[in-house]
A and B are shown apart, each in its own frame.
Chain A
Amino acid sequence: MAGQVRPRPHGRRIAGVVSIVILLAALILLPQLLQGRPFELRLVTIICLYSVLGQGWNILGGFAGQTSIGHGMFFGLGAYTSTLLLIMFGVSPWIGMIAGAAVAALFGIFIGFSCFRLRGHYFVIATLVVAEIVYQVAASWDFVGAASGISLPVKEAGLANFQFHRDKTGYYFIALAMLVAVTVLAAWLRHSRLGYILRAIRDDEDAARSLGFSPLSYKLIAMAMSAAIVGVGGVFYAQYVLYIDPPSVLALQLSVIIALIPIFGGVGTVSGPIIGTAVIIPISEYSRVLFSGSGRNVDLLIYGFLIMAIAVYLPNGVVSILARPSVRTMVQRVGRRFGLDPKTGEENSKQPAETPA
């Protein structure tokens, strides 16, 4: 029709890129705002870290449809690997990060190889069980410090040593960089051939097999990527806190949070994990600070209630709010102001319709 605006690919793409650049710039400048506020700086750093973990989980859980509640083990494997290399051989944490990712990925492949043949809930329980075994072994093995854990040596602050002391802005930037990298990876994955195949396997494994794809190989790839990313997160944590023990890097609670975040935000979406973290973490942190001293677990009460509410009302995650007609129209209107085509512009508004979670 004559009066309608036609989608202009170039204009739209530029507008999309500009908005992302603005967002990134804001995130980079954020620490300036947070000078002298270590609590808030830590909060955003943790949000970045958990978003990374959520993105990692999402590759296996969202894209490939394999729900794991044992991902904490990869976090711990990464943390312990880099820490042991540092303490025993003086290996730089950056190399340790690669090693940690590799160890996590290999372990993931090993688990996947043996357990991917399990369907549905059997697989979920298997991930839980393997993570428990890893926890118990770590807690009783003297070589890795058993229950006492390992204290990392304090080194001079700086990027080379991957340690920052008085001013923790360095950690924030590293976490942010990790998040950007992982999000780009997730976005790429979503639109790549690999991503499509994974989704096909997730939606109907037998059909995918009949088309000539080996589900096992693809699931293993997803598992390796997923485990590696979470492992890298573990290395970051070790360098951040400079002390690791089984309860802090291998606990079941951690595994659950890692899964909860993308589910809460929107399984199988690129922004889901980020949104999930941005909502869950501040709630948990602020409720602790506010209700601190009451010892009454009010924050956990709220937390539990929230999770139930989300499961009932937003099973596709917070992101699915954007799929609602009323919200959709609002987003489209906003999008149109910036020259974005309502149908193919903003990624968020598109996903829930495409991915029944």
Chain B
Amino acid sequence: MRLHPSLAGLVVAAVALYTVGGANAQDAVKVGALYPLSGQVAKSGEDTVNAIKLAVDLINNPTDGVDLPLAGAEGLPNLGGAQIELVVADHQGSPEIGQAEAQRLIEQENVVALIGAFHSSVAATSSQVAERMGVPFISGESEATNLTERGFKWFFRTTPNSDTQTQDFYTFLKEIAAKENVNIQRIAVVHENTLWGESFAKAVNKYIEDYQEFELVADITYQQGTADVTSEVQRLIAAEPDVVLHASYDAEAILFAKTYKQYGFNPQGVLAIGAAFGSNAFRDALGPDANYFLVRDHWSRDLSTTKPVVAQVAELYKERYGKEMDGTPARAFTAMMTLADAINRAGSTDPDKIRAALVDTNLGEADTIMPWEGIRFDATGQNELTRGIFIQTLEGTPKVVWPFGLESAELVWPRPGAE
């Protein structure tokens, strides 16, 4: 059966209209994302990138039921509805590859901004490239304090840095001592020996000076990836601390917790930075012994009792990627939304305008899914409105217990059975 020529013509025209007419006259706005997608932290890298993809999706497409600025905007309004196009690059945790990929993304992929990089060491080199080439770099999860101490003009960080996070520990401890009427004096810090653990330990040592009532009785560094922590724990026991501050990744968190149990080590409290002591893997491995550990986290689904939008986004994430969101994806999500907001306010893809817009960022408490007062960058590019939360595992579930006033359950202190 031969198609009648005019019918054929109509079909062709229809197809042409469909492909060309529907598309926007405006070019897509390309944003480069630098994350570790292979090697040891591949999973975490993937989870983080997924959160960013979710943010981009929410902006690009008509979305209902998410009360965030730009959600459902179907593209950036001030750029004629231009879609955001995410270009993802894997840096494998290597600062050198990060540097190379940053340059490639800027020069070959023509991205207007970069977001990354999970590892602080990679953020250091890749943001240096961005600085030299005059392209904005936003980080939602690279915490090393010195990243904002370099005098850079193009580097912006939404997440609180190591120092700020450490201060939360002392603030919290002070408030606990007052509220529960207990004597907290001897502090011990246990940390792994890579950049992350080291930054934490440095900050712990630095800020304890500000608190007369606290005394650092032990500073134990351990080899990341160690198979046995007997000597570390025994040293800790010998120091008789009231409180232990921990910086450990998943694997060693489990090991330490088990070893504490074996030797009957039970201080008033164990407070950890990072998600390990409150993660699913931790709870699975320790069962009921996972209770009462305190984790300083950035975000929790629990916050939705006071902020419904938290649940809205968490639910979408869970639907799409099959797992629960946690602190790092949540922060990356927020960083992406912040960047999109700035590009939109700039109304252009000109780097200088985007940068100026970033400097002027002033998002409020209701504009993000974080428990922060908002987002506003200080002169060094650091967001100064952040707030930490402490989560305690109670009866197998993580509950927000601090700041007092935002809690969803009451803090249990000291740990049951502690002296």
Residues on A facing B (Cβ under 8 Å): 36-39, 42, 136, 139-140, 146-149, 151, 154, 165-166, 168, 237, 240-243, 245, 247-248, 288-289, 291-297, 299-300
Chain B residues whose C-beta falls within 8 Å of the C-beta of A140 in the assembled complex: 193, 221
Nearest-CB residue, chain A, relative to B192: A147
Contact with A along B87-106 (1 / 0, CB 8 A): 01110111111011001100
CB distance from B235 to the nearest CB of A (A): 16
CB distance from A273 to the nearest CB of B (A): 20
CB distance from A252 to the nearest CB of B (A): 12
Chain B, 112-128, CB within 8 A of any chain A CB: 121, 124-125, 128
C-alpha gap A297/B37 in the complex (Å)? 9
C-alpha gap A350/B132 in the complex (Å)? 49
CB <8 Å contact, A297 and B95: no
Nearest-CB residue, chain A, relative to B150: A151
CB <8 Å contact, A240 and B90: no
C-alpha gap A291/B96 in the complex (Å)? 19
Main secondary structure of the interface of B (DSSP, over half): helix
CB <8 Å contact, A149 and B121: yes
CB <8 Å contact, B38 and A295: yes
Given A151-B124, A166-B133, A242-B128, also A288-B90 (CB < 8 A)? yes
CB distance from A280 to the nearest CB of B (A): 15
CB <8 Å contact, B45 and A292: no
C-alpha gap A242/B144 in the complex (Å)? 17
CB distance from A279 to the nearest CB of B (A): 19
C-alpha gap A38/B92 in the complex (Å)? 18
CB <8 Å contact, B46 and A295: yes
For B, the interface residue count at a CB cutoff of 8 angstroms equals 40
> What 4 pairs across the A-B complex have the smallest Cβ distances?
A295-B42, A292-B90, A39-B104, A38-B103
Given A36-B108, A38-B104, A38-B108, also A147-B195 (CB < 8 A)? yes
C-alpha gap A258/B176 in the complex (Å)? 54
CB <8 Å contact, B108 and A139: no
CB <8 Å contact, A37 and B108: yes
Chain B, 30-59, CB within 8 A of any chain A CB: 37-39, 42-43, 45-46, 49
CB <8 Å contact, A241 and B99: yes
Given A37-B108, A139-B193, also A294-B96 (CB < 8 A)? no
CB <8 Å contact, A237 and B121: no
Q: What are 6 A-to-B residue pairs whose CB atoms are below 8 Å? A: A42-B103, A136-B223, A140-B193, A147-B193, A241-B95, A293-B88
Q: Is residue B419 contacting chain A, with contact meaning CB distance below 8 A?
A: no
CB <8 Å contact, B99 and A299: no
Q: Is residue B194 contacting chain A, with contact meaning CB distance below 8 A?
A: yes
Chain B residues whose C-beta falls within 8 Å of the C-beta of A292 in the assembled complex: 37-38, 88-90
Contact with A along B176-211 (1 / 0, CB 8 A): 000000000000000001110111000000000000
- Most B CB within 10 A of own CB, among A148, A165, A294: A148
CB <8 Å contact, B104 and A288: no
Given A166-B132, A292-B88, also A248-B121 (CB < 8 A)? yes
Q: 11 more A-B contacts (CB under 8 A) besides A149-B121, A165-B132, A245-B195?
A: A36-B107, A39-B100, A136-B223, A148-B144, A149-B195, A154-B132, A241-B99, A243-B124, A247-B93, A289-B90, A295-B43
CB distance from B139 to the nearest CB of A (A): 16
CB <8 Å contact, B128 and A148: no
C-alpha gap A140/B42 in the complex (Å)? 26
Contact with A along B131-156 (1 / 0, CB 8 A): 01100000000001010001000000
Nearest-CB residue, chain A, relative to B198: A147
Chain A residues whose C-beta falls within 8 Å of the C-beta of B37 in the assembled complex: 292-295
Nearest-CB residue, chain B, relative to A297: B38
Chain B residues whose C-beta falls within 8 Å of the C-beta of A296 in the assembled complex: 38, 42
Chain A residues whose C-beta falls within 8 Å of the C-beta of B99 in the assembled complex: 241
CB <8 Å contact, B38 and A288: yes
Chain A residues whose C-beta falls within 8 Å of the C-beta of B95 in the assembled complex: 241, 243, 245, 248
C-alpha gap A146/B92 in the complex (Å)? 21
Chain A residues whose C-beta falls within 8 Å of the C-beta of B133 in the assembled complex: 166
Given A148-B199, A166-B133, also A243-B104 (CB < 8 A)? no
CB distance from A296 to the nearest CB of B (A): 8
Nearest-CB residue, chain B, relative to A37: B108
Given A37-B108, A38-B108, A147-B197, also A293-B90 (CB < 8 A)? yes
Residue in A248, A295, A297 whose beta carbon sits within 8 Å of that of B45 in the complex = A295
CB <8 Å contact, A243 and B125: yes
CB <8 Å contact, B195 and A148: yes
C-alpha gap A303/B282 in the complex (Å)? 33
C-alpha gap A136/B195 in the complex (Å)? 13
Nearest-CB residue, chain A, relative to B202: A148
Residue in B49, B93, B97, B144 whose beta carbon sits within 8 Å of that of A293 in the complex = B49
CB distance from B141 to the nearest CB of A (A): 17
CB distance from A239 to the nearest CB of B (A): 12
Nearest-CB residue, chain B, relative to A284: B92
C-alpha gap A37/B100 in the complex (Å)? 11
Nearest-CB residue, chain B, relative to A244: B95
- Most B CB within 10 A of own CB, among A139, A147, A242: A147
C-alpha gap A242/B131 in the complex (Å)? 14
C-alpha gap A289/B38 in the complex (Å)? 11
CB <8 Å contact, A237 and B38: no
CB <8 Å contact, A147 and B46: no
Chain A residues whose C-beta falls within 8 Å of the C-beta of B94 in the assembled complex: 248
C-alpha gap A39/B32 in the complex (Å)? 15
Chain B, 66-112, CB within 8 A of any chain A CB: 88-90, 92-97, 99-100, 103-104, 107-108
